[in-house]
Structure 1
């Protein structure tokens, strides 16, 4: 059922989708809709509510530059505070009237004869749009391992991204699978409440101290009165984070020095919690720092050292009604199993089916690599833009910064189309090929291609997720819209040909 016609459709209402909505308003586009599958805004910060959930980028940087928040309560914001911030951005820019909640997009299909996209929900509703911005993000689809016998487990099983708060953990035997960014926060948060906690570790992470502290009231008052001081603080954080990229992008003296420092800081944290060298050895990674995401925590190792917590390094062989068996033959009795196993970040363009010009499925187009131009546009898919798309992920800085850069380019593209009477723009194939070849050539020399198994790396071993440079370089190159990189057709943008 066709239920709407707009100039611009935005899929998702996390940082990307809300930022795109603000961009549309600033461009003078009144005819736009934000399609959201849930009943509230927030994206990953709405969905992830596990105990201890927080951001690992400082709050004053992990926010929009155009919507500074002087009221952050601490250096690293917790999930409820970030969700509240996104709700206030929605209110401030009056985006609610443009949001269609409960619209779970299943398919996005280009209709050539009508010069528009047809966006269909899983319930069968359809919206027509001259242009689409996909802002589903890389952390929207939880990755669930297919352990033998998982369905036979008689206890409770859930993913950390779908935390079931109605299930009490007090006095329970709990297993947590994974030692990544979610586990490192939730394990310390639940360790004291449970009777026993097994942490199943495939690979130990590199962990740095978390410089987290409450924001004093005088600072909040100061930033409220003098916003430029908060902006200076934001830039200070930005360049501090940016400096970390030097450890990931090469093998020079600076990179080696920073890598050595990361290793030493992790070892210091481990040794403080585990005086026994054998126990400490199992927690020390062997891969290069940065190959997997660097984690920050002050209580991860102290939680693992608690008498009711065991770190299990043997792989999981099978699961039965009462627990699971590991490769060393031991059976672990469990009441609750938490899968802190991350997200399907390399399954582009999941969860959407995208059909472009000539009926080409984007999954097929990307079968030999998720080729784009700066992660934003794709050849054969007119008037379609991605936010936080392939090749734009980071291991050191704020993804919100990258999203704002992408929105600068998209805004300029839309302004060009409306002012120059352009109905469609489509990335040239040769531009896409050259851009992807450069990305792959550069990523091969970075830490992300050094051999570890991480969510940055696809099943085929290709690294399609990461931007292999500084965010400063990305800003310089990607913020502009260059018409010569695109094929265009004349016409009035936003004018959809009636069906015959």
Structure 2
């Protein structure tokens, strides 16, 4: 990339127009950083809620906790909001703050290189446009690169091949023989939506998951009127955040919360699945919390429908007509849906990012992604991650993590400006010490006891935060000046 080539000069470039990107942009405005752009590879805003348009897509935490503290939403129709509602909330936020004019939609950043002499990031877009920014914020999170299953012969399948995170609009599978690979949170929403309409539904399960009842209800006029009153909206968000935080204790062995959740899940399975053979196949073989818990009232009933079959034999390979399982049976399919989630171990792999001395982020993350408090990476100055490594949560809303991350990043930017410096970067020894302590906590946790998207292939836990939300907020909200070097 030629630094002398014509380029647009900016204060901040934000990669990604999902929840964290919108929050960053709004808070930058409040902090007086008006010269920024948001670069988004999709044709519209929404991030994961743009990508995940499959039937039945919903958030799995109560909606009051899935809105920002500075922007309560009085328009939720249910306690657990569906994907279109969430996207409408994001669109209203963007419009209210004039963000569409500062977006480059349908564009991807292919290269980003830090120019230490100038203290600026030089960025190249896929249309040839060049940007130069003092600060570079990656707000893509971990759930943005769809992961296809590693099944021999998948390219030979001649039916419709779909991924839940790349769902085509106006897709109609009614009357077809449909297979679904995966039984995680996405499948638990997708399967009930598909089951009533298809001719036959084959659900291919590698591992049964813990399923809890979903305490959902429809919001009426009184709820929406009350939410329009700011004190009530703040209280409701705080109350639900507190309830979710209590559920975090369910991940710790020996707690009464854990025993209660285990009993509730067992009762839910027994109540909803009458067939003892099917019920036995749905008992999870790993400790509660090791994978993300599913909250659903219609997943088990969908599996018990006469046209639905739960397939527990391993998939051997794909054929032109369907899937061949390890028991020698071929399952004929007209369409195959891969509800196999995202590649969380290679984030930002589509962008070549170079820090000091030409250090590539991909090389720094060769053994798995790592960042100081999930936000900053040694030798990558003026570079901030939103929902970066080890900031996922298995019990609460990601928005409770996004807001303090944004505050942390902006405080770092303000320090650079205030002290008249070119750049700021976390010290390598500080980042290493924090990561070592974090991995030590995770090594003895429930998340080390099974295979999940929280872990890399080498066993390193790269996604989950080991503690409570309050611990993270306390650690992140105000940057420790001693943790950072300035240049």
* TM-score, scaled relative to structure 2: 0.97
The match for 1:109 is 113
Q: Secondary structure at 1:18's aligned position in 2?
A: helix
1:13 aligned onto 2:12: no
8 Å CA contact 1:371–1:435 kept in 2: the answer is: no
8 Å CA contact 1:388–1:403 kept in 2: the answer is: yes
1:89 aligned onto 2:93: yes
Deviation at 1:102, TM superposition (A): 2.0
CA distance in 2, matches of 1:437, 1:318: 40
Deviation at 1:116, TM superposition (A): 1.1
1:374 aligned onto 2:384: no
The match for 2:471 is 473
The match for 1:484 is 482
1:236 aligned onto 2:219: no
8 Å CA contact 1:59–1:76 kept in 2: the answer is: yes
Deviation at 1:423, TM superposition (A): 1.7
CA distance in 2, matches of 1:145, 1:20: 33
CA distance in 2, matches of 1:481, 1:4: 30
1:49 aligned onto 2:53: yes
8 Å CA contact 1:371–1:433 kept in 2: the answer is: no
- The runs of 5 or more residues in structure 2 that have no matched partner are none
1:87-138 CA distance string (max 9 Å, x none): 0000111111211112211222112233211111233322111110100111
8 Å CA contact 2:387–2:402 kept in 1: the answer is: yes
8 Å CA contact 2:382–2:413 kept in 1: the answer is: no
8 Å CA contact 1:372–1:435 kept in 2: the answer is: no
The match for 1:449 is 448
8 Å CA contact 2:135–2:413 kept in 1: the answer is: no
- Once the two structures are overlaid, the 10-residue window that deviates more, 303-312 or 366-375, is 366-375
Deviation at 1:187, TM superposition (A): 0.4
8 Å CA contact 1:325–1:331 kept in 2: the answer is: yes
Q: Secondary structure at 2:65's aligned position in 1?
A: coil
The match for 1:361 is 360
1:160 corresponds to which of 155, 164, 167: 164
1:325-404 paired onto structure 2 within 5 Å: 325-404=324-403
Deviation at 1:458, TM superposition (A): 0.6
The match for 1:422 is 421
1:30-429 paired onto structure 2 within 5 Å: 30-224=34-228, 226-248=229-251, 250-251=252-253, 253-254=254-255, 257-429=256-428
The match for 1:459 is 457
RMSD: 1.3
8 Å CA contact 1:109–1:356 kept in 2: the answer is: yes
The match for 1:495 is none
Q: Secondary structure at 1:422's aligned position in 2?
A: coil
CA distance in 1, matches of 2:222, 2:437: 48
Aligned positions, number: 483
Q: Secondary structure at 1:199's aligned position in 2?
A: strand
CA distance in 2, matches of 1:481, 1:274: 50
Q: Secondary structure at 2:269's aligned position in 1?
A: helix
Deviation at 1:349, TM superposition (A): 3.4
8 Å CA contact 1:269–1:301 kept in 2: the answer is: no
8 Å CA contact 1:108–1:118 kept in 2: the answer is: yes
8 Å CA contact 1:348–1:390 kept in 2: the answer is: no
Deviation at 1:369, TM superposition (A): 4.2
1:133-177 CA distance string (max 9 Å, x none): 100111111100121111111110010111124442111000000
The match for 1:496 is none
Q: Secondary structure at 1:114's aligned position in 2?
A: coil
CA distance in 1, matches of 2:50, 2:369: 28
Deviation at 1:268, TM superposition (A): 1.9
Q: Secondary structure at 1:118's aligned position in 2?
A: strand
CA distance in 2, matches of 1:278, 1:52: 27
CA distance in 2, matches of 1:72, 1:375: 30
Deviation at 1:195, TM superposition (A): 0.3
Q: Secondary structure at 2:63's aligned position in 1?
A: coil
Q: Secondary structure at 2:396's aligned position in 1?
A: coil
* TM-score, scaled relative to structure 1: 0.94
